[in-house]
Structure 1
Amino acid sequence: MLRVTDDLGRIIALAGPAQRIVSLVPSITETLCALGAGNRVSGVTDYCIHPAEEVRGKTKVGGTKTLRIETILSLHPDLVIANAEENRKHQVAKLEEAGLNVFVNFTRTVEGCLKMISDIASLTETEDAARGITASIRASLDKAKARAPAPPPRVLCPIWKNPYMSINRDTFVHSILRAAGGQNVFEEHPDRYPKFTLDEVVLKRPEVIILPTEPYRFTEADKTDFETLGEKVSAVSHIHIVEGELLSWYGPRVARALRELSALFRGETPSSGRG
């Protein structure tokens, strides 16, 4: 019998390693594949797009917030993996009411990401693969910490536009920015996803601006809004479009995210190497 405690503090018990998994979280789908358990994933969401060659033939069960409950039930999964924020609570409750084992994740830190990988490995008995992934992440963490600039550069990281929104310290995006050596200018804001104006950007005095390609797809054209601030904000000469998954997908790509963000915060050109 396998027993693993999820992020809601509940013990999920399985008779053996999960064999028919429905993943409702894109980054966890990617993690399952990296662990070598991709062939045991029966269903994924419309947003589970990595790795493309492994998810292409999987049954789609809807969007992360618009799940097709009947489709999930028809797959007869022995394990469903959900996220407390990415999936809607009432839909997850319906799956549990139907008698399914639902493991709920709520990763908000890099350390939480390492726990998630370990938890998923325990549920699938892929601990050997997990040790390799977590070792790579820890090595990148240690290297980023050793090379972090002092003081850390003040970083503005919008995640949405119209209205502009950023992140506070209770988010995974904040954690990875911090671990890579940056200081989130909205870390102390009481809202997890604070709205802000360009006038507030001047007051926050960012030195680096990170524009991710998700959840809002920022492009080169979006730099103009910040460039209009001119000499009032030193970050206007340090605006970077960054692959959104590097900031918000907790899992095997975290090692590369730490390396590339760490390089940006040191004023270097990051390597495009994968892994």
Structure 2
Amino acid sequence: MKGKDLNSLRMPPVFESPPRRVVSLVPSMTESMVRLGLGDALVGITDYCVYPEGAVDAYPRVGGTKNVRVADVVTLQPDLILASQEENTPEVIWALVEANQRVWVTFPKTVREALADLWELVHLFARDCAFQALRVLEKNVEIATLAADEHPKIRYFCPIWEEEHPRYGRWWMTFNRETYSHDILRLAGGENVFAARERRYPLEAELGETLGEPPGERDVRYPRVSLEEVLRADPEVILVPSEPYPYHPEDCQRLAEIFAETTAAQRGRIYYVEGSWITWPGVRMGEALAQLPSLFEVSE
């Protein structure tokens, strides 16, 4: 919202004792709390908080990440609300603040920043089980970082959304270097072919049909690219994630036909992948760093 800065909510509130009633509006933080042994403090979550499977079914739901029911959150009487600049809208966040709620907004753009948020979280609760689990995760990240520095990167393209323009054809949304998704895939061994590409406004400017306009305060981290751009970039690997766009395994063949001129398609390197490994900046990064590197093990 104009005139309000979410950076003012970037640090967690100060508590004299650990929070006892937490509402999480961030699926990755919900999973992180449960897996770190802090799930007993949760009193509300979103409809998209689905992990750990079977462990979050009983929590009250407060709507989607973009359309949170503010009144329902307030009714739960939380002493802390976990929010995300990436997941939640400024309107929802400021509505909660104006309702005198204590809100902590996270916005990690790297794996290290996501780890720092998790350390802030466990320090709020000061439980030994959480400290121990997070130390193990941090060690795994350190190992992945060392491995990433030792091996050459494989050039990839990862679409996270796609649509058809009625006049200019199909386009795909991806991410640049200013995102968590870019960083987790960098540690896994990937080199983002659109790392330096910024989003242009309006859409027609993205597709090369008109001149762009200054973005102002609008997000430029998620460019929309045309078929021609992807072909020029010629990725060696194409990743097809299960979210946020609801891709399915059969989409790999469809995209192989569309991107037939790329090295990825010609060498059979279009892979369906669990989307949360790429987009969830929480404890799921451990699973991601165990699974994603195999997608970049290519041989000529």
Q: Give the TM-score normalised by the residue count of structure 1.
A: 0.88
Change (3 A) 1:195 1:134: farther
Give 2:216's aligned residue.
Answer: none
The Cα of 1:137 is off from its aligned counterpart by 4.1
Q: Does 1:209 align with 2:238?
A: yes
Kindly provide the amino acid, as one letter, of the partner of residue 200 in structure 1: E
Give yes or no for contact 1:174–1:184 (8 Å, CA) kept in 2: yes
The Cα of 1:101 is off from its aligned counterpart by 1.0
2:190 to 175, 178, 182: 182
Structure-2 separation of matches of 1:267 and 1:188: 24
The Cα of 1:187 is off from its aligned counterpart by 0.5
Q: Does 1:61 align with 2:65?
A: no
Give yes or no for contact 2:10–2:104 (8 Å, CA) kept in 1: no
The Cα of 1:198 is off from its aligned counterpart by 2.0
Structure-1 separation of matches of 2:11 and 2:138: 27
Give yes or no for contact 1:22–1:81 (8 Å, CA) kept in 2: yes
Q: Does 1:169 align with 2:177?
A: yes
Kindly provide the amino acid, as one letter, of the partner of residue 176 in structure 1: I
Cα deviation digits, residues 21-61 of structure 1 (max 9, x gap): 00000000001101111111000001001113221111101
Give 1:254's aligned residue.
Answer: 285
The Cα of 1:116 is off from its aligned counterpart by 1.3
The Cα of 1:130 is off from its aligned counterpart by 3.4
Equivalent residue runs for 1:260-275 within 5 Å: 260-267=291-298
Structure-2 separation of matches of 1:184 and 1:7: 31
Structure-1 separation of matches of 2:291 and 2:226: 28
Q: Does 1:243 align with 2:285?
A: no
Structure-2 separation of matches of 1:76 and 1:46: 19
The Cα of 1:151 is off from its aligned counterpart by 2.9
Q: Does 1:157 align with 2:133?
A: no
Give yes or no for contact 1:141–1:258 (8 Å, CA) kept in 2: no
Give yes or no for contact 1:144–1:259 (8 Å, CA) kept in 2: no
Give the % identical residues: 36
Structure-1 separation of matches of 2:128 and 2:84: 21
Give 2:166's aligned residue.
Answer: none
User: How many residues are matched?
Assistant: 263
Structure-2 separation of matches of 1:71 and 1:9: 23
Cα deviation digits, residues 137-170 of structure 1 (max 9, x gap): 4324424632667431101011012131111011
SS in 2 for 1:216: coil
